Structure 1
Amino acid sequence: MVKPKDILSQDEMSALLAKSDFRGFIELATSWGLIVAAFAIVGFWPHLPTIFIPVVVALIILGNRHLALAILVHDACHHALFKTRWLNEFAGKWFAAAPVLQDLDGYRNYHLQHHKYTGQDYQGEKGDPDIILTRNYPISKKSLWRWVLRDLTGRSAPRLYLGLLAMNLGLMKFDLSGRVVMLPQPERTAFGWVTLAIRKVGPFLFTNALMFTTLWLAGNGWLYLLWVGAALTTFQFFTRIRSIAEHGMLPRVADMLKNTRTTEVSWWHRLTFAPHHVNYHLEHHFLMAVPSYRLPKMHRLLKERGVFADAPLAYGYGEILRLATTK
């Protein structure tokens, strides 16, 4: 199996792995700036019947930013968002994980197993916890569009958020593979359950209450419904397609240069399926602690050295959809 040191020099790897607090701040500020812009688009144009256009634009941007915050949680779990360790943990928890009902520590333990067992079905306790996202592809066009319709009408979301809630509360093992593993619970009083809920779900409630309060003080509290609506619809759709692109329709082997795909994208893909360079997924698996803002440089290096002559590479998410519906 090819290793990073077989392709990259030590100096190149050191440069790619270098973290920056300033660049981490820019990544966070970009996401939150776009969230503010999405609210502003509708807030400054709340007139019927033309409100339909800004609402659709806002739902697209906010769904993409829900995904973007999840990607920043992912970067923080690899200690790749900020150079300063405490800042990585603090910002990863409060500015990325909490607003989208994620738990940084729980996700970190779960995600490292994905890297260890990429694309492998469970054998006992060993397996890829993300396997359910890509296991059944390719499928028919009819089946795919049925799932897309479920995503965009909010029918996919309840299962995800109920699962995340149960995982955050420690009721269920943190696992998105489709397995439901309930965890044994100690005896708790009513006060104990309230304390647990405040500790585990409190950050989500606090950050979302702060978002609503800020919008309300600006005279547009109703705009918070767009944040919720995007979580239930466009975010589900963008996440599905992004997940298919990363590991779908690829062989179940241990070689990361065969089981993981990079997708080259245009600017509008970054505002939908691929925020924070998440499309460079093979690069991430190849050297997983590289910050997202250095993945484009790593992609150029790997491409120049012929890695993608045999490794999976797609050109846009249109190609992904064709692959996903080609039996």
Structure 2
Amino acid sequence: MIENDIKKIRESVRKESINQDISILTKPSRYKSPAYVFICWGVIFASVGLVDVLGYQFIVFSIIVCSVGQRAIGNLLHDASHYSLITSRPLAKWFSNLFLAIPTGQLFCDYQKVHLAHHRYLGDHMLDNDFIHDIELSKRSALHIYARTLLRCKIFMGTCFSDLIGTNIKLQSCFIIWWVVFLMLCDFISPTFAYSFVVVWLISRFTFFYLITVFRELTDHFGLEPGGVFSFTRNAPCKGILRFLIHPLNNGYHLTHHLYPHVPWYNLPKAHKLLLKLELYANAEHCDSYFSGKESVLYSWKN
């Protein structure tokens, strides 16, 4: 079914004569995404600096900002796994490991292998590592669905600790070395900056980052029917500040991404707009809000 859906959308794109337009959108900018990697780290540094300079009365704001920065780093690693961040494969691996994967407890090749399997085996409860599907749970309230998912130990460990739990000595060694060197460099900024960074980073990771990541995971596929890309994937191109908190860097265009995984994050809205010309795509699951209305994500979880 996955292959059939991809084949159908390719045929529809050719019939509508927008295949060349889509093809152009798959070509990544040489500088845009790498620049955003440093912007994301800059946002995280600024959130820590706010606490370090002005005091812990700003800790809640800093945690929210840092969490969104962590979420955006994950999105950029996601793009990198499709070589939409940097097209040179050796450079993509090196750059992504150094600035995206290792500091968040992952290795690029391991992440890529798991993520590409999610695309290939979408909706397969044995082979899709991101599979979250529970018919009985979908009959409950949206709050119950969210709370039950939050309390699943496997999801908590995988989200907060990534791949650090286990016997991957190479990853664990790289992670420790990266953070030791990084915190030594932070110490040059200010004697207390390294301490503040650890505090803000860890609290963010285990609180707001976890909350928005679980919501985002449910938004992608929960409540839909496994078996194909269209039946088991939704778009949530919502607008407003919530979009930047939950889906930074256009991460809500999940159906668009599954159909055209090589389109970089900054071109997803353009690809979405083009694909809406196709009846097959326009009739798919598109949510225009997170919480209210029949076109909302919460309504889609249960319907």
Distance 2:105 2:156 in 1: 13
Contact map agreement 1:17 1:289 (CA 8 A) in 2:
yes
Aligned runs of 1:113-132 on 2, under 5 Å? Answer: 113-122=117-126, 127-131=127-131
C-alpha deviation, 1:323, in angstroms: 3.7
- 2:13 aligns with 7
C-alpha deviation, 1:98, in angstroms: 0.9
Distance 1:163 1:89 in 2: 18
C-alpha deviation, 1:313, in angstroms: 0.4
Contact map agreement 1:156 1:236 (CA 8 A) in 2:
no
Q: Deviation per CA, 1:159-181, whole angstroms, max 9, x where unpaired?
A: 655672245x44xxxxxxxxxxx
Code of the residue aligned with 1:245 in structure 2: it is T
Secondary structure of the corresponding residue to residue 20 of structure 1: coil
Instruction: Work out whether 1:321 is the aligned partner of 2:280.
Output: no
- 1:93 aligns with 97
Distance 1:91 1:267 in 2: 31
C-alpha deviation, 1:299, in angstroms: 0.9
CA-based RMSD of the aligned residues comes to: 2.6
Code of the residue aligned with 2:116 in structure 1: it is L
Q: Select the residue among 262, 280, 284 that pairs with 2:253.
A: 280
Structure 1 stretches of at least 4 aligned residues deviating more than 4 Å after TM superposition: 147-151, 158-163
C-alpha deviation, 1:3, in angstroms: 2.6
Code of the residue aligned with 1:23 in structure 2: it is K
Ranges in structure 1 where 5+ consecutive residues have no aligned partner: 171-196
Secondary structure of the corresponding residue to residue 44 of structure 1: helix
Residues 5 and 135 of structure 1: CA distance in aligned 2, closer, same or farther (over 3 Å): same
Q: TM-score when scaled to structure 2?
A: 0.84
Distance 2:232 2:157 in 1: 30
Instruction: Work out whether 1:32 is the aligned partner of 2:38.
Output: no
Instruction: Work out whether 1:204 is the aligned partner of 2:204.
Output: no
Secondary structure of the corresponding residue to residue 164 of structure 1: coil
Identity across aligned pairs (percent)?
23
C-alpha deviation, 1:155, in angstroms: 11
C-alpha deviation, 1:146, in angstroms: 3.5
Secondary structure of the corresponding residue to residue 165 of structure 1: coil
Contact map agreement 1:63 1:231 (CA 8 A) in 2:
yes
Aligned runs of 1:1-327 on 2, under 5 Å? Answer: 1=5, 2-7=8-13, 9-46=18-55, 51=57, 54-122=58-126, 127-131=127-131, 133-135=132-134, 137-138=137-138, 139-141=140-142, 143-144=144-145, 146-147=147-148, 157-158=156-157, 160-161=159-160, 164-166=163-165, 169-170=167-168, 197=169, 199-219=170-190, 220-224=193-197, 225-254=199-228, 256-318=229-291, 319-324=296-301, 326=302
Distance 1:295 1:202 in 2: 36
C-alpha deviation, 1:265, in angstroms: 2.0
Distance 2:69 2:248 in 1: 8
Q: Deviation per CA, 1:65-118, whole angstroms, max 9, x where unpaired?
A: 222222222111111111333321111111010111012111111111111221
Code of the residue aligned with 1:226 in structure 2: it is V
Contact map agreement 1:27 1:276 (CA 8 A) in 2:
no
Code of the residue aligned with 1:15 in structure 2: it is I
C-alpha deviation, 1:221, in angstroms: 2.5
Higher helix share goes to which structure?
Answer: 2
Distance 1:15 1:142 in 2: 41
Residues 62 and 85 of structure 1: CA distance in aligned 2, closer, same or farther (over 3 Å): same
Residues 95 and 162 of structure 1: CA distance in aligned 2, closer, same or farther (over 3 Å): closer
Distance 2:162 2:241 in 1: 31
C-alpha deviation, 1:312, in angstroms: 0.4
Contact map agreement 1:20 1:83 (CA 8 A) in 2:
no
Contact map agreement 1:215 1:223 (CA 8 A) in 2:
no
Contact map agreement 2:106 2:171 (CA 8 A) in 1:
no
Q: TM-score when scaled to structure 1?
A: 0.78
Q: Deviation per CA, 1:231-258, whole angstroms, max 9, x where unpaired?
A: 111111111111111111111122x122
Distance 2:76 2:241 in 1: 19
Residues 320 and 140 of structure 1: CA distance in aligned 2, closer, same or farther (over 3 Å): same
Contact map agreement 2:105 2:162 (CA 8 A) in 1:
no
